[in-house]
């Protein structure tokens, strides 16, 4: 199985880095693999893809088991639910969608002792939509302070999934808000901005993304 989309996305990423004056390879590609079969992920891994993002725990666990022979990094990028924290703490390397202090405490308590801390990003609602997940930019500092005190978690930065926007200038404005929020925390240990998808990865890279989360452009449209 060949994945021409993967190579096309990597080419877009390298072009976006160059256009932004950033070093080649400074942005990591997370393959958003919801609804994709293990064989498809295995094909991507054979071409060098190592980071996979999953949205549903019950879908992710069998994929992890099927691909346990590979050295992959598993990131949870779906909505965080209370009854899923134990499985996330036990099986994932990263969580991109933390938005509640009580769930942060649960995840820290549930992280197995033998594993390194769960690498955590706080999801920020940069578009201000009432229905969207994520904390408001002015509430990030308080949640960050809570996470920093938890031994089972390692706070790495921020994530956003802004409202879809066709205009590149508006795409960039939303991503700029995430970067400004990170810079406002004045916390040098935070090195990660997870932002940009198939539709807007160039704008995200221009605004400082360090991880882009791309599904459709790699694997084709989902059912």
Chain positions contacting ligand PLP, by CB under 6 A = 32, 34, 55, 77, 161, 197-199, 213-217
Closest chain position to ligand PLP (CB): 215
Shortest spacing between CB 188 and ligand PLP, in angstroms: 26
> In terms of CB distance, is 5 or 137 closer to ligand PLP?
5
> In terms of CB distance, is 127 or 216 closer to ligand PLP?
216
Which SS3 state, helix, strand or coil, does residue 96 take?
Answer: strand
64, 115, 150 from 92: Cα distances, Å: 9, 10, 17
- The secondary structure of residue 131, as a DSSP letter, is T
53, 56, 84, 161 from 78: Cα distances, Å: 9, 6, 11, 11
> In terms of CB distance, is 43 or 199 closer to ligand PLP?
199
Shortest spacing between CB 161 and ligand PLP, in angstroms: 5
Virtual torsion, Cα 62, 64, 70, 75, nearest 10 deg: 150
> In terms of CB distance, is 75 or 106 closer to ligand PLP?
75
Residue 214 CB neighbours (<10 A): 23
> In terms of CB distance, is 53 or 137 closer to ligand PLP?
53
CA gap 177, 154 in Å, rounded: 23
Residues 6+ apart with CB under 8 A from 112: 89, 90
Shortest spacing between CB 51 and ligand PLP, in angstroms: 12
Shortest spacing between CB 104 and ligand PLP, in angstroms: 19
- The secondary structure of residue 173, as a DSSP letter, is H
> In terms of CB distance, is 32 or 72 closer to ligand PLP?
32
Shortest spacing between CB 171 and ligand PLP, in angstroms: 13
40, 58, 70, 91, 186 from 87: Cα distances, Å: 23, 9, 20, 6, 32
Shortest spacing between CB 202 and ligand PLP, in angstroms: 13
């Amino acid at each position: 199985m060949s994945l021409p989309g993967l190579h096309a996305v990597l080419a877009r990423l390298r072009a976006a880095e160059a256009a932004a004056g950033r070093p080649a390879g400074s942005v990591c590609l997370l393959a958003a693999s919801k609804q994709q079969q293990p064989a498809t992920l295995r094909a991507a891994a054979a071409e060098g893809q190592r980071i996979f993002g999953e949205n549903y725990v019950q879908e992710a666990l069998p994929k992890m088991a099927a691909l346990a022979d590979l050295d992959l990094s598993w990131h949870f990028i779906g909505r965080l639910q209370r009854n899923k924290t134990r499985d996330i703490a036990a099986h994932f390397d990263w969580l991109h969608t933390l938005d509640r202090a009580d769930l942060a405490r649960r995840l820290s308590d549930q992280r197995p002792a033998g594993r390194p801390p769960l690498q955590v990003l706080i999801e920020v609602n940069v578009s201000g939509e009432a229905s969207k997940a994520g904390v408001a930019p002015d509430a990030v500092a308080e949640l960050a302070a809570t996470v920093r005190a938890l031994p089972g978690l390692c706070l790495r930065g921020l994530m956003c999934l802004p409202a879809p926007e066709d205009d590149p200038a508006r795409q960039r404005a939303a991503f700029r808000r995430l970067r400004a929020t990170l810079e406002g925390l004045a916390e040098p240990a935070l090195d990660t901005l997870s932002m940009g998808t198939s539709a807007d990865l160039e704008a995200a890279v221009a605004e400082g993304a360090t991880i882009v989360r791309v599904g459709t452009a790699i694997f084709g449209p989902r059912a």
